[in-house]
Amino acid sequence: GAVLWGKSMTYNPKDPTWVNRDRFILSAGHGSMFIYSWLNLAGYDLPVDELKQFRQHHSMTPGHPEFPNSEHTTPGIEST
């Protein structure tokens, strides 16, 4: 995952919904901290303070990535 995200994938953190972006599919929520960390390192609007709130109610980093809704609005997460 780190090689794909760090070197091979095409994405734009300033426009997370860019139509021509590559998608990273992570099966199993147990690896969600991996995707949150990479979103942060890649420049998405996911501050370190939100990473520190991992698995906390109303945080941008729930234990299982959630499709954006009124409670979770994590940039770069597109599906549950």
pLDDT, tens only, 22-77: 887 776 667 788 889 989 999 999 999 999 999 888 888 888 777 766 677 788 88
21 has pLDDT over 80: yes
pLDDT of residue 78: 79
Enter the pTM of the model: 0.73
pLDDT of residue 80: 65
pLDDT of residue 53: 93
- Could you give the C-alpha distances from 32 to 19, 20, 50, 70, in angstroms and in order? 23, 23, 13, 20
